[in-house]
Chain A
Amino acid sequence: MENIAVQLPVTEISAPKRAGKRAWRRAERLPGEPRRIAYVYLAIPFLIYAAFTIVPLVQSFDISFYNWDGITPGTWVGLANYKSFFADPVIRGSYLHTLVLIVFYSFIPTAIGLLLAALLSRMRIHGLTVFRTLLFLPAILTDVVLAVTWTWIYDPHGPLNTFLGSIGLGFLRRPWLGDFHFALPAVGVFGAWEEYGFCMIVFIAGVMKIPTSLYEAARVDGANAWHEFFAVTLPGLRYELTVVVVLTMIDALSTFDEVYVMTGGGPGTATTVPAFEVYNQAFLQGQVGSAAAIGITLMLVVFAVSYGITKILEPRGE
């Protein structure tokens, strides 16, 4: 579908070269003449979108410059809410936790997905549909359902501790989500579990689109599995890699459901993340201006990360 969007203007531009201005006008008219009725079709979708997405975004941006408790009139404080990121250890911590979560939500699932796709690129997979269906389940199921499930898995008397005990690693048993050191990695492992099936499916679908002839050529050249991965598979998956890394990073940056349900940001503030702080500051602490500033910053970070990764990973000249 991307291709279509890219190709269409080309035919339009080539038209005037052939037959001058009149033809250009005609070409411009196709497929539809200039139609003002377009505004009628767009009116309601655009108004609803603008009213409940664009307007609140602009308002939140405005609120972020105020010190406001949500009830009494706020006072203008300029960039103070943004500056407090560096001063407030809780907010700073929430961003540091996100860095840890990025490893779990993005890097580990991407690596697992790439590894499996690389291995499976060398063979035909029987029963792919079944594998795909099952691997997709964590990606489509409700976060809250999965978070409730993993809360039980991590319970002091839950399956994980039972399992550790049964294989002679009983000394590792602990209340995972209540432990200052292990709560954040525990949320992270859950995140990696949620993401890796999706990554595998995208990469396996991508690998299947790489022409077999490229692999054959590599083998004729005597490439081993390692060379083949870097010479054929990885370049062939560049687009998928961009998509997977961007999407999993966005998930990591905007984690909320898992943290809210599993730990409530605790113990203490050991697992708090920016999205949780938006909720916490706005609706529990009455620091509405600060919450807005965190939300706006989070959006800017998401923009920057998506843009940066796309620029780094995407093939040039396209």
Chain B
Amino acid sequence: MNTASRAQVVLNYALLILFTFLAVYPIVGVFLASVYPPHSQPTSISPPSHFSFHNFVTAWTQGHFALYFRSSAIVAVSVVAGSTVLSILGGYALGTMRFRGSKVIFYTFILGLIIPTEATIVSLYYDIRALNLIDTWTALILVEVSGEVAFGVFWMRAAFMSAPRSLIEAARIDGASTWRLLWRIMVPFAWPAILTLMVLTFADSWNEFFLALVLTTSDQHLTAPAGLQVFSGKYTMNTPLVSAGAVIVAVPVIVVFVLLQRQFIRGVLTGAVKG
């Protein structure tokens, strides 16, 4: 299908490279700014005359990023584990079983895909306060799992529905219980979909800011994005230090993205298509 003229091919690549460059340039910029000498002002996106990694040490220790990082890790791992297991259970029931009310339950979950946090946050705050969970990881985990389960059940239901019936029939003839059928046969079958779900959930949880801002207050419990916001407000005049904090928050997502890129991109593409 290579009918485009040579000049056009060159122009197309030039545009593609230009837009790719523009997408990456600011991110490269913040990485470069983080290795400027402390208290200097990087005025352009360029490498410093000499590199300094001191900002990372300062941010990690004095800037509480060790704490923020720990909070984010605990919350993200709990949210991924909790919501994945619950999504598997719910998706399994809705995808392979017939029962009264399944439609209503399914559509109630679907509703969750389009309820923005802004519509629930006001009473959520008072509910969490009534439960005595303000400024705890538990609060963040519960609320985030609740949000992720809506998408997860939807996602896993579709994955389980695509399992060939012969697979289920064979297990049933062998007399396997629904529980064994799920963990021995269905979960291994749907593993790629589960992995994609986990990657997407991790990114969501790691990046979550609004909930952390409203529900947590102390350095002990602030997650990385919320901590970075506090930190950047405190050191507005120290761009290299704030940039180091930003890089610390960015790195886990970049690592997961690079390692599990295929799942990530497939997830965002199909996830997007399901909306």
User: What residues on B are CB-neighbors of A205 within 8 Å?
Assistant: 269
Check if B173 is an interface residue, CB within 8 A of chain A: no
| A144-B228, A247-B272, A254-B118 as given contacts; A153 in contact with B26, CB under 8 Å | yes
Cα(A256)–Cα(B243), bound, Å: 21
The answer for the CA separation of A2 and B270 in the assembled complex, in Å, is 10
Cα distance, A29 to B169, chains bound together (Å): 12
Q: Once the chains bind, are B89 and A5 in contact (CB under 8 Å)?
A: no
- Choose among A45, A57, A136, A137 the residue that contacts B87 (Cβ–Cβ < 8 A): A45
Q: Is the CB of A148 within 8 A of B23?
A: no
State A32–B165 Cα separation when bound (angstroms). 10
Structural contact, A34 and B119, CB atoms closer than 8 A: no
The proximity string for A residues 148-181 relative to B, scoring 1 for CB distances below 8 Å and 0 otherwise, is 1111110101110011000000000000000000
* A140 CB contact (under 8 Å) in B41, B209, B253: B253
Contact assessment for A137 and B4 in the assembled complex, using a CB-CB cutoff below 8 Å: no
Shortest beta-carbon distance from B134 to chain A in Å: 12
Is B7's CB within 8 Å of the partner chain A?
Answer: no
**A52 contacts B16, C-beta separation under 8 Å:** no
Q: In this assembly, does A217 line the interface, its C-beta being within 8 Å of a C-beta of chain B?
A: no
Given that A149-B26, A159-B43 are known contacts, is A31 also in contact with B249, CB under 8 Å in the complex? no
| Least CB separation from B24: chain A residue | A134
A278 and B121: CB pair below 8 A?
A: yes
- Nearest Cβ in chain A — how far from B104, in angstroms? 11
Contact check: which of B121, B225, B258, B265 meets A201 at CB < 8 Å? B265
Q: What CA separation (Å) do A31 and B169 show in the bound complex? A: 8
- Chain B's closest residue to A42 (CB) is B93
- Check if A56 sits within 8 Å of B124, measured CB to CB: yes
Q: Across the two chains, which residue of chain A brings its CB closest to B86?
A: A45
Docked pose: A125 CA to B210 CA in angstroms: 39
Assembly CA distance A131 to B23 (angstroms): 10
- A116–B19 touching, CB < 8 Å: yes
Q: Is the CB of B4 within 8 A of A122?
A: yes
Q: How far is the CB of A298 from chain B (nearest CB, A)?
A: 5
Known: A46-B105, A278-B121, A295-B119. A38 touches B99 (CB 8 A): yes
Chain B residues near A65 (CB-CB < 8 A) = none
User: Least Cβ distance of A253 to chain B in Å?
Assistant: 8
B16 touching A145 by the CB < 8 A rule? Answer: no
**Inter-chain contact B99/A49, CB cutoff 8 Å:** no
Q: What's the interface size class on B, roughly? A: 35 or more
Q: Which of these binds chain B: A15-23, A97-105, A192-200?
A: A192-200
Chain B min CB distance to A243 (Å): 5
Residue A119 CB within 8 A of the other chain? yes
0/1 string, A245-266, CB within 8 A of B gives 1: 0110010001011001100000
Report Cα–Cα, A146/B269, bound state, in Å: 22
A140 nearest CB across to chain B (Å):
5
Q: Which residues of A contact B146 (CB under 8 A)?
A: 48-49, 51-53
The residue from A8, A138, A212, A274 contacting B23, defined by CB atoms under 8 A apart: A138
Closest to A1 in B: B158
Cβ of B52 within 8 Å of any chain A Cβ, yes or no, is no
Q: A159-B45, A296-B119 are in contact. Are A145 and B228 (CB under 8 A)?
A: yes
Q: Which residues, 187 to 246 on B, are CB-close (under 8 Å) to A?
A: 203, 206-207, 209-210, 213-214, 224-226, 228-229, 232, 239, 242-243, 245-246
Pair B265/A298 contact, Cβ less than 8 Å: no
B185 within 8 Å of A (CB atoms)? no
Query: A residues near B, CB below 8 A?
Result: 1-2, 4-5, 8, 28-39, 41-42, 44-46, 48-57, 59-60, 62-63, 70, 112, 116, 119-120, 122-125, 131-146, 148-153, 155, 157-159, 162-163, 193, 196-198, 200-202, 205, 212, 215-216, 219, 239-240, 243-244, 246-247, 250, 254, 256-257, 260-261, 274-275, 278-279, 282-283, 288, 291-292, 294-296, 298-299, 302-303, 306
Given contacts A141-B27, A283-B214, 13 further A-B contacts (CB under 8 A): A35-B178, A38-B102, A39-B93, A51-B146, A53-B147, A53-B150, A135-B20, A137-B23, A141-B254, A144-B229, A215-B1, A219-B3, A239-B273
Q: List 11 A-B contacts (CB under 8 A).
A: A2-B274, A46-B109, A60-B124, A123-B4, A140-B268, A141-B207, A146-B27, A158-B43, A198-B272, A215-B1, A283-B214
